[in-house]
Amino acid sequence: MVVGEIPEGVDLLVVGGGPGGYTAALAAAQLGRKVVLVDADGPDGLGGVCVNIGCIPSKALIQLACTVHDRSTWAERGAPSQGSQVDMAAFQTWKTSVITKLNRGVRTLLKAADVEIVTGYFRFSRPDQGVVERADGPPRHLQFASCILATGSTPLRLGVLPHDGSRILDSTDLLALTTLPRSAAIVGGGYIGVELGTALAKLGVAVSIVEAEATLLPGIGSGAGDLVAKRLRKLGATVRTSTKVTGDDGHHLALETADGAATLDAEVVVVAVGRSPNTGDLGLDAIGVMPDARGLLTVGPDRLLTPRIAAIGDITAGPALAHKASAEAHVAAEVLSGHRAEFAPSTIAAVVFSDPEVAVTGLSAEDATDAGYLVETAAFPLAASGRAQTLAEDTGYAQWVFDKESGVTLGAQIVGAHATELVSEASLAIEMGANLDDVAGTIHPHPTMSEALSEAALVGLGRPIHVSRRR
């Protein structure tokens, strides 16, 4: 700050307008705070990566792909098929309209809460001060009583695949395409790579997914990853696990496999190997804070970095998920407003919009065993579900992880149609400490996919109805 420069006083400053940032701003305003929100993209960036270039655009693409693919799969069941080509330009127009609607919704909420939105890049200058560099005006020097950092993350890059936005793409580039490539190599078999690869395959693109680990969706469980890989191959995609990318010559990827070197032809290469926290240019040294080796900021259950500064979302440890950031936002707003609160969820569900869909929540059987529980699992196959049969989507299962002695639910894994919607029931059960009797005793409507959770509970209780009793 220039000597003699008098900073503007700010009650509560929020840096970042994504799900964590705008939720924090609204929550703080409800608690009586006067809030200023700074975002690099200003009002147009509200909603962050999730609304503008991530969750929402990708789900729109997935919906398009499913609709196009279902025309052919349902033709054999009596539905009329249409042979027209996919119009990606029309898709982009519709996608943009969805984003605009959601963005304007956030703007309206912030305006109603009297939150001031400032466009620019924020950097700390002192423990209670910072400067916003603006493209459309002079810097604004701010002195804050409280601050919440919610700056999000960006796609990780690979040194062997320099990003150019034309052949070597990230997820943002792919979601903005107005024409489909003939072929695409997806580097990374996590949730982003699997979702994008599945969508492209359903749209007729020749897809190859390359994953360094032994299974797709590593960390979720080989059972789910294997089912997803099987489906991808049925869609015509190639799945290469235990394979690393070592380079690219502009036409072919160089691969390292268990059997030696190989090459892979692809018109475009989509790098989907994770995300990197946006903490590198915040001036953190001015507040006496250093990120760890991964660029993450260390916070406690109160989300505080310093007595007046909190950090939430992708820049803190844990899954980089919008719903985690939103939940942390409430805690940070309350703590910095003088209330007692902590971020201590029993579970944070993770979902993958693959085919079949995958959702997990709570502890895996392995993690529960490591935590000292006497663990059992109980699963119900969707092939035995009447609703799954009528959807023609009977691949997958619903599985509970539970304590053998008490029957208390510890975790759940759901693979199949609408798994991403069903998992919230499992999360609620775990959060409330429900046991299998509670789940099985809750009358689920018929015929619905939700019955799979109560049926799986009955399996665990040794009282299955629609599958044979375990011996």
Identified catalytic residue from 141, 339, 418, 446: 446
Q: How far apart are CA 451 and CA 380, in angstroms?
A: 10
Sort strands 358-362 and 350-352 into parallel, antiparallel or unpaired: antiparallel
Q: How far apart are CA 341 and CA 334, in angstroms?
A: 6
Tell me the Ramachandran region of residue 114: left when phi exceeds 0, alpha when psi lies from -120 to 50, beta otherwise.
left
Q: How far apart are CA 36 and CA 30, in angstroms?
A: 14
The secondary element (H helix, E strand) that includes residue 335 is helix 322-336
Q: How far apart are CA 302 and CA 343, in angstroms?
A: 6
Q: Answer whether 361's CB lies under 8 Å from 411's CB.
A: yes
CB-facing half-sphere around the CA of 362: CA atoms within 13 A: 28
Determine whether 330 is an active site residue.
no
Q: How long, in residues, is the chain?
A: 471
Nearest to 436 by CA among 413, 410, 407, 411: 407
Instruction: Say if residue 348 is exposed, middle or buried (CB neighbours under 10 Å; 0-12, 13-18, 19+).
Output: middle
For residue 466, which phi and psi values (nearest 5 degrees)?
Answer: -100, 10
The secondary element (H helix, E strand) that includes residue 134 is none
Classified as helix, coil or strand, 380 is strand
Q: Which token pair is 398?
A: 């619903």
Classified as helix, coil or strand, 353 is coil
Catalytic residues: 446
